[in-house]
A and B are shown apart, each in its own frame.
Chain A
Amino acid sequence: MKWQFLYIDTYIMDEFTKELQIKIEKLENEINFKNGLISLLSHDSKELFGNFLWLLEAMEQKTISEEDFIRLLQEVKRDAQKNLQTAQDSTAWLKTQYGEYKIKPVKIMVMDLFYHLEEKYAALLKEKNIKFYFKGDPEAFLTTDYLLLKYILDKIFNNAVKYSFPGKDIYLQEVTADDQIILSVVDFGTGIDEKYLSAIYTYDNPIFKGTAGEKGVGLSLKIVKNFISLMYGKINIFSSENNGTTVSLFLRKFIE
């Protein structure tokens, strides 16, 4: 009898330790994410303002030509747009950090998400001559947080367009299995070398230019991963260099 109690005590302790380890790991990930974000915001702001100041001073001191000034001003503009996007992404994430953040589940038709992406990216898709289509059940739906899901799909789709070769297709695929729905964005673009996949959600991974020279800061996927866990979901990225990428979201069909 005494041994039985000891066994139960050990079992409870083991479970408690496991639970603590999971919490510690989660907290460590959050700290790393926040440190990385602060470092990124600090670096990119210093770079933008430093470059802008240099350009203004160079013009005042006439150490660059007017032609160079105009040309380099375009670079400052692109950087300002990139920084603004970083600030907006950081704010989107920050909103989930206040108090006890709770997702707001609503019924979402998958086709509505498709139409939203189709409309938002119409100009970019046309520019790269990309055909975007849907595969799956047009009546499919899920109940989850609309704002988070819209943000996640937007970022994934943005990457798909960025890294797609002109003239290739992108599709949104829906597969429902029991109480799970899998939404995948499939592109046939540059893909990514397998060696970079394991660190894709960290700040250490390299940043790659899009097929039209687009530059990002590599922040969105980290926020996407964060949001997916808030929705009790999972994300999987399969990629093959020069063949394309499939990003799959494994989501619960219903969240109470």
Chain B
Amino acid sequence: MGLKVNVHIIVADDHGIVRMGLIQTIKRLLPDAVISEVEDFKALYKVILNEKLDLAIMDVNMPNGSVQEAIDYIKMHQPDLKVLIFSSQDEELYAMRYLKMGAGGYLSKQSSNSVIETALTAMLSTGRYASEEVKEAMFLES
């Protein structure tokens, strides 16, 4: 199944460098994607209220809110919006926590460009993504 061409993606991270790097990767994969960027949870909520989005890629350590609140807010206002957590936290230790909160996927910030592209494609087509390490951690936990 091909990806929608003009998908609307929001990148939420308090680091300009992370946003810039991720947006460059998204643009390479999806040149026609409409990309918004915010640097804290409050700004994310405003965009969620005003713009129809296909994918939210968000950090967990942003100021002015929490991931759980953000996921709850998304489920309430845009239940179909896919959520990919993008974090520097150890994925084997923390990914499950965010997936249980309701995120569709977890992607480590230390991932290579090709892994990021795989994650984006998976998120946009199925709404789910977990790396092999996270899948292994899931098996061990279950």
Contacts and interface: CB of A to CB of B under 8 A. Distances in A.
Given A42-B90, A206-B64, A208-B63, A54 B21 contact: yes
Interface stretch (A45-53, A107-115, A174-182, A228-236): A45-53
A72 B89 contact: no
B137 to A, nearest CB: 16
Given A39-B93, A46-B109, A208-B63, 13 more contacts: A39-B90, A42-B90, A43-B61, A47-B88, A47-B109, A51-B18, A68-B20, A71-B16, A72-B16, A75-B17, A205-B66, A206-B66, A209-B64
28 contacts: A39-B90, A39-B93, A43-B87, A43-B88, A44-B88, A46-B88, A46-B110, A47-B88, A50-B109, A51-B17, A51-B18, A54-B21, A58-B21, A63-B24, A72-B17, A75-B15, A75-B17, A204-B66, A206-B41, A206-B63, A206-B64, A206-B69, A207-B64, A208-B63, A209-B63, A209-B64, A215-B14, A215-B63
B40 interface: yes
Contact of B89 (A43, A50, A64): A43
Interface of A: 39, 42-44, 46-47, 50-51, 54-55, 58, 63-64, 68, 71-72, 75-76, 79, 204-209, 215
A163 to B, nearest CB: 12
Nearest to B65: A206
B37 to A, nearest CB: 14
A88 B124 CA distance: 43
A75 B87 CA distance: 18
Nearest to B41: A206
Contacts of A206: 41, 63-66, 69
A136 to B, nearest CB: 34
